């Protein structure tokens, strides 16, 4: 059978992801895996409709589709996101309908679940028959167990196609709200108190809810705030995954466009950041994903420490938990504070007015107090993955990260805490003595709260 592999890596055939596809080819030579380098050719695909149509024809003639890509910043690469948008913009949905699909990713398992959730939802929206997903660590192929699992994944995919197996759907179509937002003029202005407020958006169109929400939000302040429109920013291209920045945070595009300079001089110098965008196929636009991916020139090092962050979203935010989780995790990794999301999912413009003004006030208040909410699993687990991967195998590539992690104590491995290890060993020994073991549950409960008493 013929499988069309839509390759999301901007590195094309020499990507890690395509090595996994090459292994499937080796194990199953009876099947044709037609690889199409989507991200590497996105400029041509977008500009030349005949190139896009050629890809559609390949999909039409295939028995199944394998969405294969490396994980970039918490999602698919922005080039891949743009291709997905083109499917809707150019009316190619029918070609994907009822076609079997699977997803294969390579990463260090940092938020690969959100990328898979996004692609599963896209498959459901395209009415494809989703067969399964394979979230590989980038080094799994070098282990026998990893190769066995990959082989089983591929065989299951092929069998499902041959047997025309039915597929479940877990994501319902998104429904946009009906609010035509008409903002009122803000009477009580909020003093910025010397805090620098920067709004980053991909649209300021006053004919849209997003544009009017931004105007109302800006009108909440007693002094002007700065707006960066990334759609008008001079950005030469998407992140290429070239790792040029790994040594010293210097991007390959350095001096060739405006992105890095604006990020350093305007985004990083802000006290308060507000990101504003419209939901496009369960996420923000591909232009927004380009912005996030290009900011990776700081690698795995936090670049927005201590900032207050808010999101103003137009679209069905409540129906895409993936977007919220991606942004919350990203802000926590940045060691910033996510104050709130405000969307236009309301029936009353006055209510939205109040929410936007309240967001403005809380951003200023939290900034004055320097409050950063403690990280939850998203931020804690994310940083532990970075810590282990940078120290364990990636420090030769991400040398700038390695220097930063050493300097700022991010290599906080638990095995280095000798006191805790010693106490755990002592407890283990004593718990083997029958009388102590019998009393152990009662004593341990009291022992757990004893250190807190001096604070109470």
Residue 10 included in any domain: yes
Residue 403 included in any domain: no
Q: In the structure, what pLDDT confidence band is assigned to residue 438 with cuts at 50, 70 and 90? A: confident
- Structure confidence at residue 162 (pLDDT): 97
Which residues does residue 308 pair with via DSSP β-bridges, in sequence order?
272, 337
Per-residue CA distances from 282 to 66, 248, 250, 255, 349 (Å): 20, 34, 32, 33, 24
Shared domain for 346 and 205, answered yes or no, is yes
- Residue range 229-235: mean pLDDT, rounded: 97
How many domains are there within the chain? 3
Single pTM value for the model: 0.94
The domain boundary residue, chosen from 348, 369, 390: 369
Shared domain for 362 and 432, answered yes or no, is no
Whether pLDDT at 84 is above 90:
yes
Q: In the structure, what pLDDT confidence band is assigned to residue 443 with cuts at 50, 70 and 90? A: confident
Shared domain for 242 and 359, answered yes or no, is yes
For residue 29, report the phi and psi dihedrals to the nearest 5 degrees.
-65, -15
Shared domain for 8 and 112, answered yes or no, is yes
Residue 177 included in any domain: no
CATH number at residue 23: 3.40.50.360
Contacts of 174 (CB under 8 A, 6+ apart): 125, 279, 282, 315, 316, 319, 320
Shared domain for 201 and 158, answered yes or no, is no
- Residue range 36-47: mean pLDDT, rounded: 98
Alpha-carbon distance of 140 to 126, in angstroms, equals 30
Alpha-carbon distance of 351 to 21, in angstroms, equals 51
Whether pLDDT at 325 is above 90:
yes
Whether pLDDT at 430 is above 90:
no
Q: Tell me how crowded residue 211 is: count the other CB atoms within 10 A of its CB.
A: 18
Whether pLDDT at 107 is above 90:
yes
Shared domain for 280 and 218, answered yes or no, is yes
Question: Domain span at residue 110?
Answer: 2-162
Whether pLDDT at 299 is above 90:
yes
Shared domain for 207 and 153, answered yes or no, is no
Shared domain for 234 and 134, answered yes or no, is no
- Structure confidence at residue 448 (pLDDT): 87
Residue 336 included in any domain: yes
Shared domain for 223 and 310, answered yes or no, is yes
- Structure confidence at residue 433 (pLDDT): 87
Residue 406 included in any domain: no
Closest to 242 in 3D by CA, of 15, 403, 22:
15
Per-residue CA distances from 70 to 76, 87, 220 (Å): 7, 20, 41
**Segment holding 364, helix H or strand E:** helix 349-369
Shared domain for 316 and 437, answered yes or no, is no
Q: In the structure, what pLDDT confidence band is assigned to residue 447 with cuts at 50, 70 and 90? A: confident
Closest to 52 in 3D by CA, of 69, 65, 36:
36
Shared domain for 269 and 127, answered yes or no, is no
The domain boundary residue, chosen from 142, 162, 182: 162
Shared domain for 297 and 422, answered yes or no, is no
Give the position of tokens 């192929």.
141
The domain boundary residue, chosen from 162, 186, 213: 162
Contact 156, 140 (CB under 8 A): no
3-class DSSP state of 105: strand
- Structure confidence at residue 120 (pLDDT): 98
Residue 185 included in any domain: no
Residue 411 included in any domain: no
Q: In the structure, what pLDDT confidence band is assigned to residue 98 with cuts at 50, 70 and 90? A: very high
Kindly state the tokens that stand for 275: 């990101």
Residue 191 included in any domain: no
């Amino acid at each position: 059978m013929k499988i069309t592999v839509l390759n999301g890596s901007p590195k094309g055939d020499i990507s890690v992801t395509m090595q996994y596809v090459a292994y499937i080819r080796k194990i199953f030579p009876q099947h044709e895996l037609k690889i199409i380098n989507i991200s590497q050719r996105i400029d041509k695909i977008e500009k030349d409709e005949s190139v896009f149509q050629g890809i559609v024809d390949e999909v039409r003639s295939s028995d199944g589709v394998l969405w294969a890509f490396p994980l970039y910043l918490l999602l698919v690469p922005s080039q891949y996101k743009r291709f997905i948008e083109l499917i809707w913009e150019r009316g190619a949905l029918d070609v994907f309908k009822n076609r079997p699909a699977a997803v294969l990713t390579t990463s260090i398992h940092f938020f690969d679940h959100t990328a898979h959730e996004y692609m599963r939802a896209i498959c459901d929206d395209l009415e494809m028959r989703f067969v399964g997903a394979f979230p590989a660590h980038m080094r799994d192929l070098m282990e026998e167990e990893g190769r066995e699992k990959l082989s089983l994944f591929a065989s299951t995919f092929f069998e499902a196609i041959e047997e025309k197996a039915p597929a479940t759907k877990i994501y319902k179509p998104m429904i946009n709200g009906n609010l035509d937002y008409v903002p009122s003029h803000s009477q009580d202005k909020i003093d910025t108190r010397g805090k620098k407020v920067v709004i980053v958006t991909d649209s300021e169109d006053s004919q849209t809810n997003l544009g009017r929400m931004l105007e109302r939000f800006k009108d909440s302040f007693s002094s002007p705030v700065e707006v960066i429109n990334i759609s008008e920013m001079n950005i030469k291209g998407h992140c290429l995954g070239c790792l040029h920045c790994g040594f010293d945070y210097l991007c390959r595009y350095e001096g060739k466009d405006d992105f890095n300079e604006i990020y350093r001089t305007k985004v990083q110098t802000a006290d308060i950041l507000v990101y504003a965008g419209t939901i496009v196929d369960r996420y923000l636009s591909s232009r927004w994903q380009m912005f996030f991916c290009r900011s990776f020139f700081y690698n795995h090092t936090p670049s927005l420490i201590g900032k207050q962050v808010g999101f103003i979203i137009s679209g069905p935010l409540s129906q895409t938990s993936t977007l919220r989780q991606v942004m919350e995790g990203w802000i926590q990794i940045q060691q910033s504070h996510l104050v709130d999301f405000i969307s236009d999912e309301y029936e009353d413009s006055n209510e939205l007015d109040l929410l936007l003004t309240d967001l403005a006030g809380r951003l200023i208040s939290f900034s004055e107090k320097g409050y950063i909410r403690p990280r939850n699993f998203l931020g804690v687990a994310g940083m532990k993955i970075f810590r282990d991967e940078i120290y364990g195998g990636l420090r030769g590539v991400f040398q700038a990260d390695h220097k930063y992690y050493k300097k700022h104590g991010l290599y906080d491995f638990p095995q280095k805490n000798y006191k805790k290890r010693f106490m755990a060993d002592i407890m283990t020994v004593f718990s083997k003595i029958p009388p102590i073991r019998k009393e152990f549950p009662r004593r341990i409960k009291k022992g757990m709260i004893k250190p807190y008493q001096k604070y109470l």
